[in-house]
Amino acid sequence: MAEKLQTISEIRSHISALLKKAWSREEAEALASSIILEYTGMSRAAQMAFGDRHADPAAVDRIISAAGRAAEGEPLQYILGYTEFCGHRIGVEPGVLIPRPETEEMVGQIIRENPGFSGTATDLCTGSACIAIALSLAFPSATVTATENSPAALRVAARNIATTGASVTLIEADIFSPGMLYHSGSGLIVSNPPYVTESEKKAMHVNVLEHEPHEALFVPDEDPLLYYRRIAQIAGTGLTPGGTLWLEVNENLASATARLLSPDIYRQVSIIEDIRGKQRFIKAERHG
């Protein structure tokens, strides 16, 4: 089939139909545009305006291959090997969680609220290191540390730190290890730990369930706040006076998560809605 497809319009029509077998019409069209852009450099507008242009045969083969993988449910970010986060290219691969728009939204708020931050920032459960990298590049005078215990994530995080030129100290550490309680000196602690309950799996798309690491996503129904309870303990000793804790949370458990943060330690705990109106973030300011 690939050798018979020559123009951008023909290619787009073919892969859109292929993708619609697994995705909604809107999602399929968006995926088709992104795949063609990746291998031809043509934006969606250019694809529409110059659909009669011919694509290089090698590019056509790559487009068809990528579309076939996406039609089987594989996330486009894994197919391409990267995603964009806060304006930076972040490498991702199977075994490492794909950064979400919600996380990008939280980091954007942190950056806007802390212009010129020059203290120490710590990202717990860093994954691909997208949060730590964005903070480091936004706050060049800051000291940024990121912790992770997954070998796959540590490998990808180290590569991302190197390729972006961010100044991040990557530490292999399990937040449940006793030593984490002695962590101290951060003016900013950020975390996006696993928070999707096992019972919520049924509402998730197959591309997530079959391809992304479950250990980075899911928590048991009987103890959904286990990561936040531990992070609250770490932040209780780790935040400097006047420091701030930021958490991405399960929208259904925001209030319960906020209650883990003692008023004896924090002068203000705020639940913040994301752009879709969901209770997605918690900001807690330590007493000065």
Please provide the DSSP assignment of 103-133 as one string.
HHHHHHHHHHHSTT--SEEEEES-TTSHHHH
Residue 239 forms beta bridges with which residues?
Answer: 186
What is the band of 218 on the pLDDT scale with cuts at 50, 70, 90? very high
Is residue 21 very low, low, confident or very high in pLDDT (cuts 50, 70, 90)?
A: confident
The model's pTM is: 0.93
- The ranges of the chain annotated as CATH 3.40.50.150 are 95-286
Stretch 241-250: mean pLDDT = 97
Helical H segments across 118-213, by residue range: 130-138, 151-164, 206-209
Mean pLDDT of 56-81: 94
Q: What is the pLDDT of residues 135-171, one digit of tens each?
A: 999 999 999 999 999 999 999 999 999 999 999 999 9
Note whether 246 and 74 are within 8 A (CB): no
- The answer on pLDDT for 3 being more than 90 is no
Residue 183: pLDDT band (50, 70, 90) is low
pLDDT in tens, 121-137: 999 999 999 999 999 99
Look at residue 2 and tell me whether its pLDDT is greater than 50: no
Tally of CB atoms within 10 A around 240: 16
Secondary structure of the chain: what % helix, strand, coil (to 5)? Answer: 45, 20, 35
Q: What is the pLDDT of residues 106-124, one digit of tens each?
A: 999 999 999 999 999 999 9
What fold, for 95-286? Rossmann fold (3.40.50)
Q: Residue 254 pLDDT more than 60?
A: yes
H/E segment holding residue 280: strand 279-286
